[in-house]
Structure 1
Amino acid sequence: MRRGIGLLAVGLLLAGCAGTPRAAPALDGGGGAIDGPLKVVVRGLAPGEQAVVWARTTDDRGRLWTSWGVFAADRGGRVDIATQSPTSGSYTGVDPTGLLWSMRLPSGEPVSDPFAVVRGPELGLTIGVDVGGRTLAQSPVAVQLHTPGVRSVPIAEAGLVGDLHLPPGPGPHPGVILLGGSDGGRPDPGLGRFLAGKGFAVLGLAYFGLPGLPPALERIPVEYGTRAVDWLRTRPDVSDGPVGVVGLSRGGEFALLLGAFSPDVGAVASVVGSGVVFPGATPTASSWTHAGAELPPLTTDFAGIPPALLFSATRGRPVRFVDTQGTTATPEQLDHAAIPVERNNAAYLLVSGERDEMWPSQRLLDVAARRLGDRAEHVVQPGAGHFILGVPNLPTSYTSAVPLVPEVFWAAGGGAPQANAAATADTVRRVVELFREEL
C-alpha cells in the first residue's frame, strides 16, 4: 500500500515538472473586400517566438495557391500582419494585402494560366499559423471580389459582343466600356463585376476573336466602339450622360480612339496603352479604320523578331517584346501615327509601367499626353510592368513573365510581383475616382 502511494506521488511530481500543455494560439482572421486590407492577428505566442502565418486557396481550375510569412511575436506574444513585417516569406515589408497578391502555385507546377481563376463572388481562403513545423490554428476567410447583388448578362445584339455588368438596384447608372488587350475576346469579367460594384454599368466589349467579329486585330472599325457607346446610353438602366472608357494595352489604344471620335465619351483611362496607332496582324495594315479608311499606323524599319530574342525563347527565357515595339521610332514617325485625342473635351487618365517589357507604354502614352496638355494626367507606376489593370490584390506572382505556350514560350511583362500588385491597386483606384468625378 505504502509502495503504491509512493509511486503515485512520484508520478504526480514528474507530471508537475513537465508542466501543463500550452494552449493553442488564437487566430483572428477577417476578409472584407478584395481592395481592402486582410485582417490576420495571432495571439497567445511567446514573446519573440517565430510563427509562420499562411494563406491558401484553390481556384476554379483546381489549382492550389499559397502564400506565407515568418513573423516574430511582439512582447505581448502577438502577430498582426497589418503592422508587422515578415522576416521572410512570399512578400516583404508591412503589407496587410501581402498574403493575397503574393500567392503562388506549388514549386514545379507548370504555369498554364498566370492568374488565379475565380468566377464566383468570393475568394475563399484558409488562414493558418504554424509553430515549430506544426499547424496550431487555422480558420476559413471569405474575401468579397465585388459588391453583392452585381449582375452579369452576356450581350450579342446590335452587332456587339460582350458582357454587361450591372450594379445592384434599378439605376440609372453611369455607363463604362471596358476593353481588353491583344488576347482578344471578352475582357476580364472579374474586373467588370468589380467596377460594377463601384456603381457603374460596365460593358465588357469584345472587338475581335469571337464569332461575329473580325478574326484578328486588324482593320477594326472605330465605329464598332462608338456604336457600343450609343447602345449603352440608350439602355433604361444606364444614365444618358457621358460614357467612360477604360482599356488595357491595345484596349488602351482603342480607348484613346473612342475618346477622339465619340463626342459622348466623357472620361478615358488608357492603361499601358498607346497614343499612336499600331499595325495590325499584317505589318503593313492598320489595326483600325475610321469612316472606311485605315488610320495611319506606326511604320518603322522593323524587319522581324531579332534572332537573339528567338534564341532566348528556345532557352526558356522570356522574350522582351518591348525591343520590337517602337522603341526606336523617330518623333516624326510617332507624330504621323498619333491618335488625335485633342478632338474631344474628355478627361484623360494615362497610366504606364516604368518597367513595361511588353512595349514602351511610357513613351507611347507621352505622345497622347503632349497633345492633351492639362487635360491628361500621366501616371508612371514605379517598378511596374505591363499587367497592371485587374481586380486588386489577386495574385501577381506570374505577371513579370506570362506563358504564351506553357513550358515553351514566355513573354516578359516586366516589373516585379510586389510592384505590379501595388500598381494594379493604385491604377484601379484612380480609374474609379476618374469615373466618379467625370460621369
Structure 2
Amino acid sequence: MTEKTTRIPVREGRLRGTLFIPEGEGPFPGVIDLFGTAGGLIEFRAAQLASRGIASLSLAYFGFEDLPREMNEIDLAYFEEGVDYLHSYPKVTFPYKDQKNKMKQIATKPRTTVKKSGVGAIGSSKGADLVCSMAAYLPKVKAVVSINGIAVNSWCPMKYKDLVIPGLAFRVEKAKFLGPDLISSYEMSDDSEDFPETHIPLHKSNAEFLFICSKDDANWKTVIETERAVARMKANGKTNYELIIYDGAGHLVEPCYAPFSSATFHKMGNCNLFYGGNVKDHSAAQVDSWRRIIELFKRVL
C-alpha cells in the first residue's frame, strides 16, 4: 500500500471488506477483489491495485467477523451489493448532478477520459469462479480477470433471486498424499462435463474476460476446465475473452514479485496443499499477468 492510498474499512449492511482509494480526485476505475476457499479478508492485491490508480474493494464472503464461518452456500446478491457500493462511490463514478449536466461533461472531455458505466472484478481460485458468475448475472460488471479458476460453480450451491446453480462436487477421498503432511487436490473435483448444470453461462455476459491459467497448476484442473468454458463461449458466438496459459506456473499466481510458494497451509482443509509450478516460470508469469491485468482494467473501465 503506497503512502497516500486511502484504506477504508467497509461495514455497510452485510458487506464486510476493505476499500482502497488511490491518491487524487478521480474518478478511478473500480474493481471488486476476491480470493478463494481460504476465507477471511485478504487485502494485499487490492492495495497494490490502488497503488496503480485503480480503486479496489476487497470483499470477504465467509470466515470473517459475523459472516458465515464456512462456505456452504453462495448468495450472489451479496456480491451485487458490493458492486453497487463500489459503482456508486464518489471517486469511482462521475459526480453528475443530472443527466443534462452529464452529457455536457462528456461532450467537453477528451474521449479517453470518459468513465464507462461499470466496474471490474478479479478473483483467484474459487474467487475466479465467483467473478465469472458476477459477470454472467450482474450487468454492471464490465471487465473480469479469472486467475486459475475452473469457470463453473464449484464447491457449494450458488443462489441469485429465484435461481440456484448447484456446486461441482469435490471428493475428499480423491485427495493424493505426496508426503506425510502434503496433499494434492488436483483429482478431487468431478468432471464438469458430467454436470452441465454447474456451468456458468458466460456467453450471456458482455464483459471482457481475461482468463489466466497455469499449466502446472497442481490444485485444480484449471486449464482443462477453462478451455472448455472458452469453447462454450465461442460456440455461442462470443469473442470477448483472452486466455493466457503459462508453462511452469503453479496455482497461486499473485502480483509481480510476490514470493513463489509451491505449497501452503490451507485453513479449510486443515492441511498443507501442493500448488505446483517452479520458481522461475511462476515468477515470470506473475510479472506478465500483472501487466495484463492493469492494462485490461484501465482500458475497459
- Common topology (TM > 0.5): yes
Inter-partner Cα distance in structure 2 for 1:232 and 1:340 = 24
1:270 aligned partner: 146
Tell me the equivalent position of 1:31.
none
Task: Name the residue aligned to 1:348.
Answer: 209
* Higher relative helix content: 2
Alignment equivalent of 2:254, drawn from 389, 412, 415: 389
Maintained 8 Å contact 1:219/1:294: no
Q: Which has the higher strand share?
A: 1
Counterpart CA distance in 2 for 1:437 and 1:395 is 28
Mapped to 2, the partners of 1:202 and 1:414 lie a distance apart of: 29
Identity of matched residues, %: 29
Are the counterparts in 2 of residues 175 and 200 from structure 1 also a CA contact under 8 Å? yes
Aligned to 2:166: 296
Indicate the RMSD between aligned Cα atoms, in angstroms.
2.0
Q: Which of 260, 278, 285 is residue 416 of structure 1 equivalent to?
A: 278
Matched, 1:205 2:59: yes
Kindly report which structure 2 residues correspond to 1:210-221, keeping only aligned pairs within 5 A, or say none: 210-221=64-75
What secondary structure does 2:223 align onto? helix
Find the partner of 2:122 among 239, 243, 246: 246
Residue deviations 1:162-195 (CA, integer Å, cap 9, x gap): 00001001212111100011111112x2211111
Question: Could you tell me how far apart the structure 1 residues matched to 2:251 and 2:119 are?
Answer: 25
Amino acid at match of 1:372: M
Q: How many residue pairs align between the two structures? A: 273
Which residue does 2:29 correspond to in 1? Answer: 174
Mapped partners of 2:7, 2:211: distance in 1: 28
Q: CA deviation at 1:245?
A: 0.3
Partner of 1:86: none
Q: What is the alpha-carbon distance in structure 1 between the residues aligned to residue 159 and residue 150 of structure 2? A: 16
> Is residue 322 from structure 1 mapped to residue 186 from structure 2 by the alignment?
yes
Question: Could you say what secondary structure the match of 2:252 adopts?
Answer: coil
CA contact (8 A) 1:221 1:292 kept: no
Distance (whole Å) between structure 2 residues aligned to residue 180 and residue 394 of structure 1: 16
Structure 2 SS opposite 1:377: strand
Taking structure 1 as the reference length, what is the TM-score of the superposition?
A: 0.59
Higher relative contact order (CA 8 A, sep 6+): 2
The superposition leaves residues 402-424 of structure 1 with CA deviations (integer Å, 9 ceiling, x where unpaired) of: 2348xx94211010122221111
Using the TM superposition, give the Cα deviation of residue 346 of structure 1 relative to its aligned residue in structure 2, in angstroms.
0.5
**How far off is 1:367 after superposition?**
2.9
**Are the aligned partners of 1:276 and 1:367 in contact in 2 as well (CA < 8 Å)?**
no
Q: How does 1:39-438 map to 2 (within 5 A)?
A: 121=1, 146=2, 148-187=3-42, 189-239=43-93, 241-280=117-156, 286=157, 288-299=158-169, 304-306=172-174, 309-310=176-177, 312-313=178-179, 315-316=180-181, 318-326=182-190, 329=191, 331-333=193-195, 335-373=196-234, 374-390=239-255, 392-396=256-260, 399-404=261-266, 409-438=271-300
Structure 2 SS opposite 1:268: strand
Look up the equivalent residue of 1:176 and give its one-letter code. V
The CA distance in 2 between the partners of 1:418 and 1:324, in whole Å, is 27
Rounded to whole Å, the distance in 2 between the matches of 1:167 and 1:409 is 37
CA deviation profile, 1:380-410 (whole Å, cap 9, x unmatched)? 11111100023x11321xx1122348xx942
SS at match of 1:323: coil
Q: Aligned partners of 1:175, 1:261: CA distance in 2, in Å? A: 18
Q: What aligned pairs does 1:19-58 form with structure 2 within 5 A after superposition?
A: none
CA contact (8 A) 1:180 1:251 kept: yes
Preserved contact between residue 171 and residue 189 of structure 2 (Cα < 8 Å) = no
Aligned-pair distance for 1:292?
A: 4.6
The question of whether the paired residues in 1 share the 8 Å contact of 2:40 and 2:62 is answered with yes
1:233 deviates by 1.1
Please give the secondary structure, in 1, of the residue aligned with 2:173. Answer: coil
Deviation at 1:330, TM superposition (A): 5.9
Q: Give the deviation of 1:296 after TM superposition.
A: 2.3
Q: Which amino acid aligns with 1:325?
A: S
* Structure-2 change in CA distance of 1:153 and 1:324 (3 Å): same
CA contact (8 A) 2:128 2:149 kept: yes
Counterpart secondary structure, 1:279: coil
Cα deviations across residues 38-62 of structure 1 (Å, max 9, x unaligned)? Answer: xxxxxxxxxxxxxxxxxxxxxxxxx
Task: Specify the structure having the higher radius of gyration (Cα).
Answer: 1
Query: Cα–Cα, structure 1 residues 185 and 409, in superposed 2: closer, same or farther, change >3 Å?
Result: closer
Q: Tell me how far apart the structure 2 counterparts of residues 292 and 186 of structure 1 sit (CA, whole Å).
A: 28
Unaligned runs of 5+ in 2: 95-116
Give the CA deviation at 1:155: 0.8
Q: In 2, distance between residues paired with 1:388 and 1:303?
A: 24
Shift of 1:214: 2.1
Q: TM-score, normalised by structure 2?
A: 0.85
Instruction: Pick closer, same or farther for the CA change 1:290–1:197 going to 2, 3 Å.
Output: same
